[in-house]
């Protein structure tokens, strides 16, 4: 059934749509090992308190089973990496589901080529950090070591839409025992359209066959099943990205109600690093970067707000 809100149509997702999406997806590599890591992580953390799933980066949609070409969703992973850092600092255990090759917690302030720019070989047995990067490198190393030795950060990579959604299902089911202590912070940019595996070309599509005509299927809306079945008690935050400011808040408000989210973070592509609007049932909250500090980011006040709201939800 399709319901229209005047801004495009929302397809209702049935359990059959979800089942057929997963049944027809290529099996997730290492699923048993991922499940084992998750169970171990959640079991250790569950008595300590709050656990957050941070998703980060964009999903790809392969066009060929032996993939040479794919469609990508824009996301550098900067939002997810920064947010994971602030959740760790606030005492959360973090499951970081990230797109392979995107920004990582505690490393996002390093330049693109850290080996070339941050370090120099000062003698045969010595490597030192260049003065300009000394503080950044020290902080990156020490924060990464603290998270590793506390065992509070579990990183799981994905590339395709199939891998992302299969991981999301596995993580949600592992986190379900945490009830309302679980927080879902879904910042990954997830494709709305895909090529079903069974109708996908096996080999590289040949340009000699002429122009490419392709019909993409709609990805089932997993937010509704996440809220209804996978994580009914968790505190759930989704993101809404638009490039047209005029429809952003309306779309975010619709997602809040339709998927029964606790918050929807609305952001516009060009201003996303300066400002976001947190849409809640109690009203909208504008969150801005502190412009008086050059290194300040919008994730710092955003995560503070979320941590406070989650605590209020718990009590
Ligand atoms: C976001 O809106 C994120 O904030 C960004 C972060 C992807 C803009 P960067 O990674 O950017 O720091 O470069 N994520 C969610 C985007 C999304 O796909 N939302 C769907 C939608 O808008 C709903 S799940 O329809």
Residue ranges of the chain with pLDDT lower than 70? Answer: 1-11, 45-48
Task: Kindly give the distance from the C-alpha atom of residue 110 to the centroid of ligand 1, in angstroms, as a whole number.
Answer: 23
Least Cα distance to 80 among 59, 96, 92 occurs for 96
HEC-encoded secondary structure of the chain: CEEECCCCEEECCCHHHHHHHHHHCCCCCCHHHHHHHHHHHHHHHHCCCCEEEEEECECEEECECCCCCEEECCCCCHHHHHHHHHHHHCCCEEEEEEECCCCCCCCCCCCCCHHHHCEEEEECCEEEECHHHHHHHHHHHHHHHHHHHHCCEEEEEECEHHHHHHHHHHHHHHHHHHHHHEEEEECCECCCEECCHHHCECCCCCHHHCCCCCCCEECCCHHHHHHHHHCCCCEEEEEEEECCHHHHHHHHHHHHHHCCCCEEEEEEHHHCCCEEEEEECCEEEEEECCCCCCCCCCHHHHHHHHHHHHHHHHC
Kindly provide the ipTM of the predicted complex, given to two decimals. 0.96
Give 185's strand partners: 54, 237
Which atom of ligand 1 has the smallest separation from the CA of 187?
14
Mutate to test the pocket of ligand 1, among 75, 220, 253 (most ligand atoms within 8 A of CB): 75
**Distance separating alpha carbons of residues 177 and 263, to the nearest angstrom:** 22
What is the best residue among 81, 109, 185, 187 to mutate for testing ligand 1's pocket, by most ligand atoms within 8 Å of CB?
187
Token output for 185: 């912070």
Residue 142 is predicted with a pLDDT of 95
Cα 203 to ligand 1 centre (Å): 31
Q: Quick one: pLDDT at residue 46?
A: 60
Ligand 1 contacts (CB < 6 A) are 75-79, 187, 189-190, 238-241, 267, 272
Sorted by sequence, the CB contacts under 8 Å of residue 78 that are 6+ apart come out as: 103, 108, 273
- What is the pLDDT, as a whole number, of residue 13? 81
Ligand 1 centroid–CA 73 distance in Å is: 9
pLDDT number for residue 7: 39
User: 255 CA distance to ligand 1 centroid (A)?
Assistant: 13
Token code pair at residue 294:
């050059």
Tokens at 181, concatenated = 């202590």
Which among 53, 47, 72, 52 is positioned nearest to 62, based on CA atoms? 72
99: CA distance to ligand 1 center in Å?
13
Q: Whose CA is nearest to atom 4 of ligand 1?
A: 187
pLDDT at 51: 96
Q: What is the best residue among 72, 240, 287, 302 to mutate for testing ligand 1's pocket, by most ligand atoms within 8 Å of CB?
A: 240
Nearest-atom number in ligand 1 for the CA of 272 is: 8
pLDDT at 42: 93
Q: Is-above-0.90 flag for pTM?
A: yes
What is the structure's pLDDT at 193? Answer: 97
The number of beta carbons lying within 10 Å of the beta carbon of residue 234 is 25
Tokens describing residue 303: 């995560």
pLDDT at 3: 38
What gap in Å lies between CA 291 and CA 84, rounded to an integer? 22
Ligand 1 centre to CA of 56 (Å) is 8
């Amino acid at each position: 059934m399709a319901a229209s809100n005047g801004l495009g149509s929302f397809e209702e997702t049935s359990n059959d749509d979800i089942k057929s999406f997963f049944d027809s997806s290529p099996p997730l590599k290492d699923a048993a090992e991922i499940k084992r890591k998750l169970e171990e992580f959640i079991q250790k953390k569950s008595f300590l308190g709050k656990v957050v799933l941070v998703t980060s980066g964009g999903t790809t949609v392969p066009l060929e089973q032996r993939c040479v070409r794919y469609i990508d969703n824009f996301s550098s992973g900067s939002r997810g990496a920064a947010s994971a850092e602030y959740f760790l600092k606030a005492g959360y255990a973090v499951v970081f589901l990230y797109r392979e090759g995107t920004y990582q917690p505690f490393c996002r302030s390093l330049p693109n080529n850290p080996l070339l720019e941050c370090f120099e070989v000062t003698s045969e047995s010595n490597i030192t950090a260049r003065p300009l990067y000394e503080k950044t490198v020290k902080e990156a190393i020490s924060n990464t070591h603290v998270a590793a030795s506390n065992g509070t950060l579990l990183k799981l990579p994905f590339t395709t839409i199939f891998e992302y959604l299969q991981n999301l299902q596995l993580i949600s089911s592992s986190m379900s025992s945490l009830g309302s202590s679980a927080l879902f912070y879904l910042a990954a940019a997830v494709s709305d359209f895909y090529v079903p595996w069974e109708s996908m070309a096996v080999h590289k599509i040949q340009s000699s066959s002429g122009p490419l005509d392709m019909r993409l299927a709609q990805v089932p809306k997993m937010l509704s099943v996440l809220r209804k079945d996978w994580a009914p008690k968790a505190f759930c935050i989704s993101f809404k990205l638009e490039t047209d400011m005029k429809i952003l808040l309306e779309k975010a408000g619709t997602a809040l109600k339709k998927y029964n989210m606790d918050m929807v973070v609305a952001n516009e592509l060009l201003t996303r690093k300066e400002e976001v609007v947190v849409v809640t049932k109690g009203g909208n909250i504008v969150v801005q970067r502190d412009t008086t500090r050059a290194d300040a980011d919008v994730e710092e006040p955003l995560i503070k707000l979320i941590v406070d709201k989650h605590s209020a939800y718990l009590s």
